[in-house]
Amino acid sequence: MNIHEKYIKRCIELAKNGLGATYPNPLVGSVIVHKNSIIGEGWHQKAGAPHAEVNAVNSVKDKSLLKKSTIYVSLEPCSHFGKTPPCSDLIIAKGIKKVVIGAVDPFAEVAGRGIKKLMEAGCEVQVGVLEQECQDLNKRFFTFHQKKRPYIILKWAQTADGFIAPKIQEKREPVWITNQYSKQLVHKWRSEEQAILVGTNTAIADNPKLNTRLWKGENPVRAVIDKKLKIPEESALFDGTIKTIVLTENEKKSDNNNLAFEKLDFQQDLPNQICEVLYRHNLQSVIIEGGAKTLQTFTDNNLWDEARVFTGISEFHKGVKAPEFSGKMFSKTTLERDTLKFYKND
């Protein structure tokens, strides 16, 4: 690892502190180095709040050192006025002449303009240090802007014998396959994504809240497939506390600002239509939590980026089979007696 990689890696570590709080902005970290020592660092903490470069500059005690320092940033400094002024202008104004950047920003309002502005001002700019790692950090942001759809995470829990639900469910409540630690982790994941999607059968059988009640963080927008509008109106999904999008074949309007109905053509490609709706609602990521039919539809269409699969120790012997899919496992861990595997779509 060379010296530039060392500091960009630190930028990535800092940026991760903002996960789940910066939407629609990307995760960004920045460090300022003088004579091989970090004299300032910061990360983008929340949309509308100062960017990483601003926080890094503000943390430097002796501002006279800035002109002799190098600023590292995991993503290209912005060049446009949004809710905050351009960070490229700040770097230029502070007289920082050396800039090392992890990845180019794919957002159309930036997309190389920040780099160009810095170079035209006489800055020495190096781009592409740990580029893949910096892109992975903002996989949601990059997918949204480059593929015009949300980053798609599939998630389910299955029994040791491969079922995700029993054949008969007596009550309208979830049947838990995994332990309390796995359950809490799922709520943490929800706080990190912008939307959560379930199908009709899951909404009816489990009556899920799809919130982050077991973890501190923002609730994702709830989306539910309900072709015939069969889900009971008294369901938790319609409690009005969280924005909820109902994907249906019917034309329907809502007087509730937190409830929207989106008409789909159920005779056509459903996953891509759902992605188009979520993209239109500016949702950069979605975690699909079920049921089996919904998950299988996305895997059959090869429209997913990541899968997170829990396997518990219980057995149902019969019931709803877990989805079938093909992906590359890149990580595996355990939470007590539960096994958790992570897959990427190759």
Question: Looking at the annotation, which residues are catalytic?
Answer: 53
Confirm or deny that 56 is annotated as ligand binding: no
Confirm or deny that 289 is annotated as ligand binding: yes
Confirm or deny that 222 is annotated as ligand binding: no
Confirm or deny that 213 is annotated as ligand binding: yes
Confirm or deny that 87 is annotated as ligand binding: yes
Confirm or deny that 123 is annotated as ligand binding: no
Confirm or deny that 78 is annotated as ligand binding: yes
Dihedral sign from CA coordinates of 137, 328, 201, 147: positive
Give the residue numbers of the binding site for substrate: 190, 206, 210, 213, 289
Give the residue numbers of the binding site for NADP(+): 157, 176, 202
Give the residue numbers of the binding site for Zn(2+): 51, 78, 87
